[in-house]
Amino acid sequence: VTDQLDGTTYTWTATNYVHLDPHTRPAHIFTIERNDEGVRVGGDDRVREPRRLPGVPQESGSR
């Protein structure tokens, strides 16, 4: 992954963590890049539907 705020690149695996510090690094904005084989490392490509909260009406998208 690449941090878009400072250009730092990290190798993302199954056991990563994100360290934030309000004085030196208050945020990250990551972009995920595929490896050379075009396969995501440590993840899957399933499309997940947004989680629906019970009792909350869903918007139809038309107004």
Domain ranges of the chain: 1-42
Q: How many CB atoms lie within 10 A of CB 1?
A: 14
pTM: 0.49
**Structural tokens at position 60:** 């139809």
The DSSP output letter for 35 is -
**N- to C-terminal Cα separation, the chain:** 38
**Residues for the chain: how many in total?**
63
Average pLDDT, 10 consecutive residues per value, the chain (63 residues): 93 87 92 70 56 66 55
State residue 31's pLDDT score.
Answer: 93
Separation between Cα atoms, residue 57 and residue 49, nearest integer Å: 16
